[in-house]
Amino acid sequence: MNPNDGFRELARQECLRLMATVPVGRIVYTRRALPAVLPVNFGLDDDGTVLLRTSATSELVRAIDGAVVAFETDDVDADRHSGWSVVVTGTATVVTDPAEHECLSRTGPDSWVPAQRELFVRIEPELVTGRELVGGRTLYGVGPTA
């Protein structure tokens, strides 16, 4: 990346540290052969695995179980034209082990829309990328901000 383009690449550990500071991300998956994006709350395991808690009957679960997905988080300060964005790409799988499900029920992310029957989805981080928009530039990246 060109150091003068206003962006800085983020290392994997920095990406995971930043992700842990925000409560909501967006899962990107395929629905009926088209790209779909859905905002969801999430949690992170120690190794950077993204954890989702959702209804066992949700359309999302059927669409992503066993599929490669992307998961994006960000934090942007529009006034300062600065912020960061992180994307985790990996395979999403439903947690089927009863002991692990029980543990995640206590320690995993809470559902913002609780359902009668919930399950957990793991997104194993095969690729973690991120970049930071460096402040002090105009919206179009030309000259300093006022």
Residue 140 predicted with pLDDT over 70: no
Specify the DSSP element, H or E, that contains 9.
strand 7-9
Residue 141 inside a domain? The answer is no
Residue 87 inside a domain? The answer is yes
Number of domains in the chain: 1
Residue 46 inside a domain? The answer is yes
Residue 138 inside a domain? The answer is no
Residue 102 inside a domain? The answer is yes
Summarize pLDDT for 71-95 with one digit per residue, the tens: 999 999 888 888 999 999 999 999 9
Residue 142 inside a domain? The answer is no
Distance CA 23, CA 41 (A): 6
Q: What is the CATH number of the domain that holds 63?
A: 2.30.110.10
Residue 16 predicted with pLDDT over 80: yes
Q: Which of 3-12, 13-22, 75-84, 94-103 has the lowest mean pLDDT?
A: 3-12
Distance CA 9, CA 129 (A): 8
Specify the DSSP element, H or E, that contains 7.
strand 7-9
Distance CA 22, CA 103 (A): 23
Q: What does each C-alpha distance from 103 to 8, 44, 54, 111 come to in angstroms?
A: 37, 14, 16, 15
Residue 99 — φ and ψ, nearest 5°?
Answer: -65, -40
Residue 140 inside a domain? The answer is no
Residue spans of beta strands (DSSP E) within 12-139: 24-31, 34-41, 43-44, 50-55, 68-77, 82-94, 118-123, 127-133
Summarize pLDDT for 43-65 with one digit per residue, the tens: 999 889 999 998 888 889 999 99
Q: What pLDDT band is residue 4 in, cutting at 50, 70 and 90? A: low
Query: Can you give the pLDDT at residue 6?
Result: 80
Residue 122 inside a domain? The answer is yes
Residue 1 predicted with pLDDT over 50: no
User: pTM for this one?
Assistant: 0.84
Which are the contacts of 31, defined by CB distance < 8 A and separation ≥ 6? Answer: 59, 63
Could you list the residue range(s) of the whole structural domain that residue 89 is in? 7-133
